[in-house]
Amino acid sequence: MAKPAGTPPPDPEFVQLLNPEGKRVEHPDYTIDFTDDEYRSLYHDLVVVRRLDAEATALQRQGELGIWASLLGQEAAQVGSGRALRPQDMAFPTYREHGVLYCRGIDPIMPLGLFRGVDQGGWDPIGMKFAMYTIVIGAQTLHATGYAMGIAMDGKVGTEDGEAVVAYFGDGASSQGDVNEAFVWASVFHAPVVFFCQNNQYAISEPLERQTRVPLFQRANGFGFPGVRVDGNDVLASYAVTRAALDQARAGQGPTLIEAYTYRMGAHTTSDDPTRYRGNDEVELWRTRDPIARLRAHLVREGLADDEYFAGIDAEADALAAEVRAACLALPDPHPLSMFDHAYSEPHAQVTAERAELAAYLEGFEDEEAAR
Ligand SMILES: Cc1ncc(C[n+]2csc(CCOP(=O)(O)OP(=O)(O)O)c2C)c(N)n1
Ligand SMILES: [Mg+2]
């Protein structure tokens, strides 16, 4: 398909605190003061979430998951923003936020149950302050905005230890009506929500140029709240920008749109073949901006870690991946009738009738196992 006519947008300007060579860069508005241990633990989380993601992709390829949406390339955007959340903050993810899920302290087996089709996700969204994965593109931005309006009404905003909300979505989702409606509501009600857009350059096969003629973060201006673009492959900048936006929201200063400029290194999901719609050149260009390599280079440059340390992290990640694999294979198949269990909180005539119909059908099989 022909590209739209006109001048392409200029090269992105973004907040960066760590360049692709692993060198610290100063920024007038954003700073960080991590301890040596915190730098190392950021690296740990990046490596672990990438390793778990690779294991999930392998499990899908071996027929153990129905589908998997990989986060490969987006680790820094997710770990940086995920670690910027305070315990009381609420997050609303898409289907790709495995790195944020990990930062929330949720057992990494949880999303595998969903993608294996044996449960609905499994974690307690309220207890863990992490809503269920949302496949309906952009819908969670409305959920997040409503939730944010709710906590403001409950008086949980405007104090030092107030609460804030983050809504994750993609570049493609920015074209959805839901997202634009969420922007309007968040703006006029001054809702304490941070809209965190991972611009990974694609919505399945549709490139960014099919979503917008202006940089995505500038959309916020038209809705009346600030927008900022961050280098999404820089975990330090992703952390600093998200932390600042969340703190503004919790202090009662309303929403912010963050565009984390990044790249989806793998396929959209395991059902997709990206070689059909993008060239290898751009993938290789983005490989040079790898989020893990640059933090590793920084740790080496600053003398914070050596080969032995890196080997230890790799071994730990491998062991965790093996554990998650074993746990995935051991997930019990649900009984078919359990699908009706939580459709409504109260008994419901239609659900009761449908349940009875399926039960009768299943009883028609001699071997109950065979009915599954
Ligand atoms: C309302 C709705 N429309 C269409 C789809 C099909 N769909 C699934 S993922 C996707 C692309 C989303 O792209 P983006 O928002 O950039 O997120 P990414 O997958 O790149 O993280 C589409 C169109 C859907 N799930 N929901
Ligand atoms: Mg995208």
Q: Encode pLDDT of 239-295 as tens digits.
A: 999 999 999 999 999 999 999 999 999 999 999 999 999 999 999 999 999 999 999
Q: What pLDDT score was predicted for residue 44?
A: 98
Catalytic residue status for 298: no
Question: CA–CA separation, 254 vs 248, rounded Å?
Answer: 7
Judged against a pLDDT cut of 80, whether residue 4 lies above it is answered with no
Compute the distance between CA of residue 155 and CA of residue 168 in angstroms, rounded to an integer: 24
Cβ atoms of 45 and 103 closer than 8 Å? yes
Which ligand 1 atom lies nearest to the CA of residue 199?
16
Active site residue 264: yes
> Measuring CA to CA, which residue among 221, 219, 217 is closest to residue 230?
217
- Of residues 252, 262, 209, 267, the one with CA closest to residue 231: 262
- Reported pTM: 0.94
User: 193-199 and 165-170 as β-strands: parallel, antiparallel, unpaired?
Assistant: parallel
Each residue of 5-18: b (16+ CB within 10 Å) or e?
eeeeeeeeebbbbb
Dist. CA 136 → ligand 1 center (Å): 7
- CB 292 less than 6 A from any atom of ligand 1: no
Q: pLDDT tens-digit profile of 132-168?
A: 999 999 999 999 999 999 999 999 999 888 999 999 9
Atom of ligand 1 minimally distant from the CA of 136:
26
- Per-residue confidence band for 370, with pLDDT thresholds at 50, 70 and 90: low
Neighbours of ion ligand 2 (CB under 5 A): 170-172, 200, 203
pLDDT on residue 347: 93
Ligand approaching nearest to the C-alpha of 272: 1
Q: What's the CA gap between 349 and 23, in Å, rounded?
A: 63
The predicted-structure confidence for 172-216, as pLDDT tens digits, reads as follows: 999 999 999 999 999 999 999 999 999 999 999 999 999 999 999
Q: What is the mean pLDDT of residues 340-368?
A: 91
Q: Which of 264, 294, 298, 325 is catalytic?
A: 264
Pocket flag, ligand 1, residue 268 (CB < 6 Å) = yes
Ligand 1 near 266 CB (within 6 A): no
* 268 is known as an active-site residue: yes
Q: What percent of the chain has pLDDT over 90?
A: 92
- Out of 104, 268, 289, 355, which one is annotated catalytic? 268
The answer on pLDDT for 343 being more than 90 is no
* Mean pLDDT of the 300-320 span: 98
- Residue with token string 């778990």: 52
Q: H/E/C letters for each residue in 38-54? A: HHHHHHHHHHHHHHHHH
Alpha carbon distance 362, 360 (integer Å): 5
SS3 351: helix
Q: How far apart are CA 144 and CA 165, in angstroms?
A: 7
Asked if residue 173 has its Cβ within 6 Å of ligand 1, the reply is: yes
Is any ligand 1 atom within 6 A of the Cβ of residue 137? Answer: yes
Q: What is the distance between the alpha carbons of residues 209 and 29, in angstroms, rounded to a whole number?
A: 29
